[in-house]
Structure 1
Amino acid sequence: MTSRDVSGGWTYIDMPQHTPGQPAADAETMEQRITRVKADQSDLYEFHNIDLVRPARLKDYYVEELDKLHQLSFEELPDQEARVDYVLLRNYLRRSIRRLELDEKRNEKMAPLLPFAAPLVELLEARQKVELDSLKPRHTADVMDAATRLVLKTKEGVESGKIHVDGVTAIRAVSTIEQLQARLAELIDFFKGYHPTFDWWTAQPYEALNRALADLIPPIKVKLAGQRPGEEDAIVGQPIGRDGLLVDLEAEMISYTPEELLKAAEEKFAWCEDKMRSAAARMGFGDDWHAALEHVKNLGVEPGEQPAMVKRLVVEGADYVERHGLVTVPPLARRTWRMYMMAAERQKVNPFFLGGPEIIVSYPTAAMAHGDKLMSIRGNNRHFAKATAFHEMIPGHHLAMFHEARHRAYRALFENPFWVEGWAMYWELVLWDRGDFFDGPEDEVGTLWWRMHRCARILFSLGYHLGRMSAQDCVELLVARVGHERRTAEGEVRRSLNGDYEPLYQAGYYLGALQIYSLRDEVLRKGICASEREFNDRILRENEMPIEMLRALFLDVELSKEYKAQWRFLD
Structure 2
Amino acid sequence: MVLFTSPRGVAIRLAQTEPIRDRIERVTADLKELKEFLPIELSPRRHQRLQDFLTSELTELNSFHDLPFALYDQEAKVDYLLLKNFLEREVRTLDLEAKQDEKLSPLVPFANTLVDLCEARTLVMPMDPKVTAQTLFDCQTTIVSVIEKVKAKSGDMVIPKNSAFRAANHIIALKGHLKEWFSFYTGYDPTFDWWVAHPYGVIDQSLQDLAATIKEVLVEIKPGDDDAIVGQPIGREGLLFELRAEMFPYTPEEIISIGEKEFDWCITEMKKASRSMGYSDDWKKALEEVKNDFVEPGQQTQLVRDLVHEAVLFVEDHDLVTVPEIAKNSWQMFMMSPERQKVNPFFLGGDCIIVSYPTDAMDHEAKMMSLRGNNIHFSRATVFHEMIPGHHLQMYMNARHRPYRRVFDTPFWIEGWSLYWEFFLWNDERWIKTPQNRIGMLWWRLHRCARIIFSVNFHLGRMSPQECIDLLVEDVGHERATAEGEVRRSLNGDYSPLYQAGYMLGALQIFALRKEMVDARRMSEKEFHDRFLKGNRMPIEMVRALMQDQPLSPEFQPSWRFYPL
What TM-score range do you get, normalising by the shorter chain?
over 0.9
1:30-429 residue pairs with structure 2 within 5 A? 30-53=20-43, 54-72=46-64, 73-132=67-126, 135-162=127-154, 163-429=157-423
Shift of 1:215: 1.4
* Counterpart-to-counterpart distance in 2, 1:515 and 1:538: 16
Structure 1's consecutive aligned runs of 4 or more residues displaced over 6 angstroms after TM superposition are 18-21
The C-alpha deviation readout for 1:394-427, integer Å capped at 9, x for no partner, is 0000001110000000001101101110011100
* Counterpart-to-counterpart distance in 1, 2:117 and 2:9: 42
Return the letter of the residue paired with 1:179: A
Which residue of 458, 461, 468 corresponds with 1:474?
A: 468
* Counterpart-to-counterpart distance in 1, 2:49 and 2:216: 32
Return the letter of the residue paired with 1:200: W
* Counterpart-to-counterpart distance in 2, 1:130 and 1:519: 54
Shift of 1:263: 0.5
* Counterpart-to-counterpart distance in 1, 2:56 and 2:179: 34
* Counterpart-to-counterpart distance in 2, 1:263 and 1:343: 37
Confirm whether residue 536 of structure 1 aligns to residue 529 of structure 2. yes
* Counterpart-to-counterpart distance in 1, 2:342 and 2:170: 24
- Residue aligning to 1:14: none
Root-mean-square deviation (CA, aligned residues, Å) is: 1.4
Shift of 1:78: 2.2
SS at match of 1:269: helix
Structure 1: give runs of 5+ residues left out of the alignment.
Answer: 1-17
CA contact 2:14–2:68 (8 Å) conserved in 1: no
CA contact 1:460–1:474 (8 Å) conserved in 2: yes
Shift of 1:74: 4.8
CA contact 1:21–1:76 (8 Å) conserved in 2: no
- Residue aligning to 1:451: 445
Return the letter of the residue paired with 2:427: D
SS at match of 1:388: helix
The C-alpha deviation readout for 1:1-45, integer Å capped at 9, x for no partner, is xxxxxxxxxxxxxxxxx9999534353211110001110111011
Shift of 1:549: 0.2
Shift of 1:288: 0.4
SS at match of 2:532: helix
The C-alpha deviation readout for 1:279-328, integer Å capped at 9, x for no partner, is 00000000000000011000000001101111111110111011111111
- Residue aligning to 2:489: 495
* Counterpart-to-counterpart distance in 2, 1:458 and 1:261: 7
Return the letter of the residue paired with 1:35: E
CA contact 2:358–2:370 (8 Å) conserved in 1: yes
Counting aligned pairs with the same residue, the percent is 52
The C-alpha deviation readout for 1:469-509, integer Å capped at 9, x for no partner, is 11111110100110000000001111111111111111111
> How many matched pairs?
551
CA contact 1:55–1:103 (8 Å) conserved in 2: no
Shift of 1:113: 0.3
Return the letter of the residue paired with 2:452: I
* Counterpart-to-counterpart distance in 2, 1:258 and 1:408: 32
* Counterpart-to-counterpart distance in 2, 1:97 and 1:465: 21
* Counterpart-to-counterpart distance in 2, 1:227 and 1:122: 31
Return the letter of the residue paired with 1:221: K
CA contact 2:311–2:383 (8 Å) conserved in 1: yes
* Counterpart-to-counterpart distance in 1, 2:368 and 2:69: 61
1:518-537 residue pairs with structure 2 within 5 A? 518-529=512-523, 531-537=524-530
* Counterpart-to-counterpart distance in 1, 2:488 and 2:71: 45
Shift of 1:436: 3.2
* Counterpart-to-counterpart distance in 2, 1:203 and 1:216: 20
Higher deviation after alignment, 146-155 or 235-244: 235-244
CA contact 1:144–1:205 (8 Å) conserved in 2: yes
| TM-score, normalising length: structure 2 | 0.96
Shift of 1:75: 3.7
| TM-score, normalising length: structure 1 | 0.95
The C-alpha deviation readout for 1:146-178, integer Å capped at 9, x for no partner, is 100000000010001102111001111111111
Structure 2: give runs of 5+ residues left out of the alignment.
Answer: 1-7
* Counterpart-to-counterpart distance in 2, 1:220 and 1:399: 44
Return the letter of the residue paired with 2:27: V
* Counterpart-to-counterpart distance in 2, 1:477 and 1:536: 34
CA contact 2:104–2:164 (8 Å) conserved in 1: yes
CA contact 1:21–1:71 (8 Å) conserved in 2: no
* Counterpart-to-counterpart distance in 2, 1:128 and 1:559: 44
SS at match of 1:553: helix
* Counterpart-to-counterpart distance in 1, 2:135 and 2:429: 69
- Residue aligning to 1:569: 562
Shift of 1:438: 4.1
CA contact 1:432–1:438 (8 Å) conserved in 2: no
Confirm whether residue 552 of structure 1 aligns to residue 542 of structure 2. no
Shift of 1:524: 2.0
The C-alpha deviation readout for 1:246-281, integer Å capped at 9, x for no partner, is 111101100000100001100000000000000000
Return the letter of the residue paired with 2:32: S
* Counterpart-to-counterpart distance in 1, 2:131 and 2:388: 59
Return the letter of the residue paired with 1:210: D
* Counterpart-to-counterpart distance in 2, 1:171 and 1:212: 17
Return the letter of the residue paired with 2:18: E
